[in-house]
Amino acid sequence: MEDTSKPKEEMPEEPSEGEEEEQIDEPQPEAKSEEPQDESTEEPDVQEKVEETAEETGESSKESEEKVDIAEEPAKAEKKQEKGKKQAKAEVKKEKPKVDRGPDFKYIVRLSNTDVDGEKSVVYGLTSVKGIGVQMATLIADETGIDRNMKIGDLKDPQIEKLQETIDNVSKNAPGWMLNHRKNYETGEDIHLIGSDIDMQLRDEINIMKKIRSYRGIRHERGLPVRGQRTRANNRKGLALGVSKKREPTTAATTTE
């Protein structure tokens, strides 16, 4: 006896031959790959692009970079051009030739063992002598009766000799407040030193201070500042030691037999 309570299991219908062919022909959707693609394969490197463009145009990488800099920063290019123009103007000024002032013009005049440029005026030409300033030079020019603005190269020989005489006797003609060495150690007079006499007098007076062992003389001997300058942070000479640790005395290990 068959059980009628249980439903009969329906068998799946077999597809016909035409349906099988239709199922096979249908294209199946491709599965998306979850793996990320390399960025390098998608987009070429920027440098490679630059190199390719440089090779195509026949220009080097340096030239291309310079063009980019000029395009990005035109202000810097203008500044460079201005600097070049200024330098060119300075070179032109330096290369100016001397004006021919005639056969009697003296381009170099000898005064107090110093060579004076003949193209300078009398006042500023005399200042090239050591120990003579602008005020002293104007006084000397007025004493000799020579025009201050006249070129020294245009002076004649007697005028140059007169200038030399006034320079030698300037301590007599000039007032005391204009002299550069007042109250001499030996004579106590006010004198005006010129040229190499300044260095000789300075050396002699320093030696005197060292001999009498004055404070200034001792400071000169030790090479320290003489006029009260500080020496903690300034005028440091020699090697800087810094902080040095005390070394502990090392005791030799005694061996007992």
For 26-69, how does the pLDDT look when each residue is reduced to its tens digit (9 = 90+)?
Answer: 555 555 455 545 444 444 454 565 556 555 555 555 565 565 55
What tokens does 161 get? 């000799």
Distance CA 81, CA 169 (A): 56
Helix, strand, coil share of the chain (percent; to 5): 45, 5, 50
Determine the Cα angle at 120 with ends 117 and 126, to 5°: 75
Name all domains of the chain by residue range, CATH numbers in brackets. 108-178 (1.10.8.50)
pLDDT tens track for 66-86: 655 555 566 777 788 888 888
Residue 98: partners with Cβ closer than 8 Å, 6 or more residues away: 107, 119
- CA 133, 136, 141, 143: dihedral to nearest 10 degrees? -170
Residuewise pLDDT in 10s, the chain (257 residues): 455 555 555 555 555 555 555 555 555 555 545 554 544 444 445 456 555 655 555 555 556 556 555 555 667 777 888 888 888 777 765 555 567 777 788 899 999 999 999 999 999 999 999 999 999 999 999 999 999 999 999 999 999 999 999 999 999 989 999 999 999 888 889 999 999 999 999 999 999 999 999 999 999 999 999 999 999 888 877 655 566 667 776 665 555 55
**By the 8 A CB rule, do 118 and 151 touch?**
yes
